[in-house]
Amino acid sequence: MDIKVGGIFGFLIFVADIWAIINILGSSADNVKKLLWILLVLFLPLLGVVIWFFAGPRSSSR
C-alpha cells in the first residue's frame, strides 16, 4: 500500500510546519534547542508538529 500526501492535506501540513517554525523561533528556548525542534519539524513534518504542539518550547509571550 502506497501512501501519498498531496493536495489540500499536504498544504495544511506545510502551513502547520511554517506556523510551528515561527513559534519555535519566537520561543524563549536556547538556540540549540530551537535548532533541534526545527530539524524535527522539517524531517518529520506531521509527527514533528504534533510532538512540538504537546512538548515543544512555548513563546515568551505566554
Closest CA to 36 of 22, 56, 62, 16: 56
CA distance 62 to 31: 19
| pLDDT confidence of residue 62 | 45
pLDDT digits (tens, 9 = 90+) for 11-54: 899 999 999 999 999 988 899 999 999 999 999 998 999 998 89
What pTM was estimated for this model as a whole? Answer: 0.79
pLDDT for residue 59 = 60
CB 24 within 8 A of CB 52: yes
What is the residue whose three cell numbers read 518550547?
57
Amino acid, res. 38: I
Task: Output the pLDDT for position 37.
Answer: 93
- Scan for cell 513559534, then name that residue: 23
The domain limits of the chain are 7-55
pLDDT band at 60 (very low <50, low <70, confident <90, very high): low
